[in-house]
Chains A and B, each alone.
Chain A
Amino acid sequence: MAKLSRRAIAQYATDQITSGADTKQLVLQLAAYLVDTRRTRELSLIVRDIQFYLSEAGSVSGVITTASQLTAETKSAIEKYIKQQTGATTVALDSFIDPSVIGGVKVSIPGQELDATVSRSLTILKTRFKKA
Chain B
Amino acid sequence: MTEKSNISITELSKELRNAISKLETTGNLDEVGVVLRVGDGVAWVRGLRNAGFNEVLQIETTEGIVEAFALNLMEDEIGAVLLGEDSKVKAGQTVRLKGSVLSVPVGPELLGRVVDPLGRAIDGGPAIKTKQQGLVEREAIGVMGRKSVHEPLMTGISAIDVMFPIGRGQRELIIGDRQTGKTALAIDTMINQGKQKTGVVNVYVAIGQKRSKIARLVERLKQEGVMDQTIIVATSPADPASLLYLAPYAATAMGEYFRDNSQHALMIYDDLTKHAVAYRQMSLLLRRPPGREAYPGDVFYLHSRLLERSAKLSDDLGAGSLTALPIIETQAGDISAYIPTNVISITDGQIFLETDLFYQGIRPAISAGLSVSRVGGAAQSSAIKSVSGGLKLGLSQFRELASFAQFGSDLDEATKSQIERGQRLTELLKQHQYNPMSVWQQVASILSVTKGYFDKVPATKIKAAQAAMITRLWADHKTDMTELDKGGKPTEEILKSIEATATSTAKGFEG
B65 within 8 A of A: yes
* Residues of chain B lying within 8 A (CB to CB) of residue A6: 75-76
The verdict on A121 contacting B64 (CB below 8 Å), with A113-B30, A113-B32, A113-B94 known, is no
Residues of A within 8 A of B46 (CB): 45, 48
Task: Name the A residues within 8 Å of B475 (CB-CB).
Answer: none
Q: Please determine whether A111 and B19 come into contact, CB atoms closer than 8 angstroms.
A: no
Size of the A side of the interface (Cβ < 8 Å), in residues, is 28
> Which B135-184 residues have C-beta < 8 A from chain A?
none
Contact A5 B63 (CB under 8 A): no
Most buried by B among A7, A127, A132: A127
- Determine, out of B21-29, B268-276, B417-425, the stretch whose residues face the partner at the interface: B21-29
Instruction: Decide yes or no whether A54 CB sits under 8 A from chain B.
Output: no
Chain A 84-127 against B: per-residue CB contact (8 Å), 1 yes, 0 no? 01100000000000000000000111011111100011011111
Please tell me if A24 contacts chain B, counting CB pairs below 8 Å.
no
* B29 near A112: Cβ-Cβ < 8 Å: yes
Q: Is the CB of B30 within 8 A of A123?
A: no
Residues of B within 8 A of A126 (CB): 63-64
A111 touches B23 (CB 8 A): no
**CB of B178 to closest CB in A, whole Å:** 37
Chain B contact residues: helix, strand, loop or mixed = mixed
Task: Say whether A129 contacts B30, CB under 8 Å.
Answer: no
Per-residue contact bits, chain B 38-51, to A (CB 8 Å; 1 contact, 0 not): 00000000110100
Least Cβ distance of B114 to chain A in Å?
18
Q: Are A111 and B49 in contact (CB under 8 A)?
A: yes
A38 interface hit (Cβ, 8 Å): no
Question: In the docked arrangement, what's the CA distance between A116 and B26, Å?
Answer: 9
Q: A5-B76, A113-B94 are in contact. Are A124 and B32 (CB under 8 A)?
A: no
Partner of B20 from the list A48, A109, A125 (CB cut-off 8 Å) is A125
Inside 8 A of A108's CB, which chain B residues have their CB?
32
Q: Verify if B356 is at the interface (C-beta below 8 Å from A).
A: no
Taking a contact as CB atoms under 8 Å apart, the answer to whether A111 and B47 are in contact is: yes
B215 at the interface (CB under 8 A from A): no
Q: How far is the CA of A85 from the CA of B28 in the complex (A)?
A: 9
Task: Please state if A114 and B127 are interface contacts (CB–CB under 8 Å).
Answer: no
- From known contacts A120-B60, A125-B20, A128-B19, infer whether A5 and B94 are also in contact, taking CB-CB under 8 Å: no
B123 interfacial by beta-carbon distance below 8 Å = no
Inter-chain contacts of A124 with B (CB < 8 A): 23-24, 65
Whether A127 touches B65, Cβ cut-off 8 Å, given contacts A5-B76, A7-B76, A132-B127, is: yes
Contact of B31 with A by CB under 8 A: yes
User: Is the beta-carbon distance between A114 and B27 smaller than 8 angstroms?
Assistant: yes
Report how far A107 CA is from B31 CA in the complex, Å: 12
The interface centre, meaning the residue of B28, B36, B75, B76 with most chain A CB atoms within 10 A of its CB, is: B76
Q: Which A residues lie within 8 Å of B25 (CB)?
A: 116
A-B contact count (CB 8 A): 62
Alpha-carbon distance A119/B275, docked complex (angstroms): 39
Q: Are A115 and B30 in contact (CB under 8 A)?
A: yes
**Binary per-residue interface labels of chain B (248-280) against chain A in the complex, 1 for a CB within 8 Å, 0 otherwise:** 000000000000000000000000000000000
Neighbouring B residues of A120 by C-beta, 8 Å:
60
- Please, how many angstroms separate the alpha-carbon atoms of A124 and B94 in the complex? 13
Bound form: Cα–Cα A117–B435 in Å: 62
A85 to B24, CA, bound (A): 18
The reply to whether A121 and B23 contact each other, CB–CB distance below 8 Å, is: yes
**Complex: how many Å from CA A112 to CA B30?**
5
Query: Which residue of chain B is the closest to A121 with respect to CB atoms?
Result: B23
Once the chains are docked, how many angstroms separate the CA of A121 from the CA of B30?
15
Complex contacts, B33 vs chain A, CB 8 Å: 111
The complex places the Cα of A120 from the Cα of B60 at a distance, in Å, of: 8
Residues on A with beta carbons closer than 8 Å to the beta carbon of B19: 125, 128-129
Contacting residues, chain A, for B94 (C-beta < 8 A)? 113, 115
With A126-B63, A127-B65 given, is the CB distance from A113 to B29 under 8 Å? yes
Q: Which of A111, A113, A115, A123 touches B65 (beta carbons < 8 Å)? A: A123
A86 partner residues in chain B, CB cutoff 8 A: 29
> Min CB distance, A93 to chain B, in Å?
13
CA distance A94 to B141 in the complex (A): 54
With both chains docked as a complex, state the minimum distance between the C-beta of B164 and any C-beta of chain A, in angstroms.
44
Alpha-carbon separation in the docked complex, A124 to B22 (Å): 10
CB distance from A119 to the nearest CB of B (A): 9
CA distance A82 to B75 in the complex (A): 27
56-103 of chain A: CB within 8 A of chain B: 82, 85-86
A3–chain B nearest beta-carbon distance, Å: 10
Residue of A109, A124, A129 with most partner-chain B CB within 10 A = A124
Nearest residue, chain A, Cβ from B66: A127
- Find chain B residues with CB under 8 A from A115 CB: 30, 94
Q: How far is the CB of A14 from chain B (nearest CB, A)?
A: 15
* Whole-angstrom CA separation of A132 from B121 in the bound complex: 11
CA distance A17 to B31 in the complex (A): 25
Closest 9 CB pairs of A and B: A127-B64, A113-B32, A127-B65, A112-B29, A126-B64, A5-B75, A6-B76, A114-B29, A121-B23
In the assembled complex, 5 residue pairs joining A and B whose CB atoms fall closer than 8 Å, in A order, are A85-B28, A113-B94, A123-B62, A124-B24, A126-B63
